[in-house]
């Protein structure tokens, strides 16, 4: 038994469902995504989608190129539905339970009527929610920023010490500002490390499985 998700804006015609079913029968995959050769969205939205996909590919566990049009085995769908999470990103949760994922090309049509219920800022806000909840990107940015700012401040500090020792130069406020940047960088670096541990706690609260039992042989 399978479950198929499809948007109600008719940019994907119901007849395209046949392609998902055919691909599943050929591959036996747990999940089949309908991939669009060319999305009929605005240029900015298409660029945003590519950026979002690239971030998740690098900083999360998502290994597939997903879409909202997909066929899911009922067993996987039930496991996804069991997660009581406010910001549920289905494609990421699916990857917790299976890597048997395939794709097939489907036609993406222009919207026949009305306009999207998502505004530009609504899409940005939703994307940021998913990035914060499912990726380590914010933590990595904090760690890298802290490390490099402290490193640069340390090098500048050595330069001021060199000038003080060999030339008797006055340090003044510049040295004080450098010291502040150095200590701030160390703090950001430490916060990033602490964040990595907090991230592990989030995995527990999200009930992220360490493994998935697909079949029990008797």
Structure tokens at 98: 């299976």
Q: Is 64:101 a contact under the CB 8 Å cutoff?
A: yes
Among 57, 72, 54, 52, residue whose Cα is nearest residue 5: 72
Q: Is 108:39 a contact under the CB 8 Å cutoff?
A: yes
Cα separation, 123 vs 126, in Å, equals 5
Q: Is 13:111 a contact under the CB 8 Å cutoff?
A: no
pTM over 0.75: no
- pLDDT confidence of residue 41: 62
Can you list the positions of beta strands (E) in 10-67?
31-35
Cα separation, 124 vs 30, in Å, equals 30
Distances (CA, A) of 141 to 138, 147, 191, 196: 5, 10, 11, 12
Q: Could you state, in chain order, the average pLDDT of each consecutive group of 10 residues for the chain (218 residues)?
A: 88 91 94 83 70 72 73 92 81 88 88 72 79 79 83 81 73 73 83 80 76 78
Structure tokens at 190: 């430490």
Residues 6+ apart with CB under 8 A from 86: none
Pairing type for strands 31-35 and 2-5 reads: unpaired
Map tokens 């703090």 to a residue: 187
């Amino acid at each position: 038994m399978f479950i198929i998700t499809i948007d109600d804006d008719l940019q994907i015609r119901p007849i395209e469902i046949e392609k998902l079913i055919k691909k599943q029968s050929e591959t036996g995959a747990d999940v089949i995504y309908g991939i669009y050769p060319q999305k009929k969205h605005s240029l900015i939205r298409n660029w945003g989608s590519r950026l979002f996909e690239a971030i998740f590919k690098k900083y999360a566990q998502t290994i597939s190129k997903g879409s909202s049009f997909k066929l899911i085995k009922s067993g996987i769908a039930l496991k996804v539905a069991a997660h009581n999470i406010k910001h549920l990103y289905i494609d990421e949760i699916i990857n917790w339970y299976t890597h048997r994922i395939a794709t097939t090309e489907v036609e993406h049509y222009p919207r026949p009527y009305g306009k999207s219920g998502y505004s530009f800022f609504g899409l940005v806000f939703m994307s940021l929610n998913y990035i914060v909840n499912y990726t380590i990107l914010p933590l990595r940015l904090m760690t890298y920023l802290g490390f490099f700012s402290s490193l640069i401040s340390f090098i500048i500090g050595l330069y001021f010490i060199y000038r003080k020792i060999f030339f008797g130069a006055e340090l003044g406020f510049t040295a004080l500002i450098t010291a502040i940047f150095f200590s701030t960088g160390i703090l950001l670096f430490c916060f990033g490390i602490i964040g990595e541990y907090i991230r592990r706690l989030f995995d527990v609260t999200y009930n992220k499985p360490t493994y998935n039992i697909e079949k029990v042989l008797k």
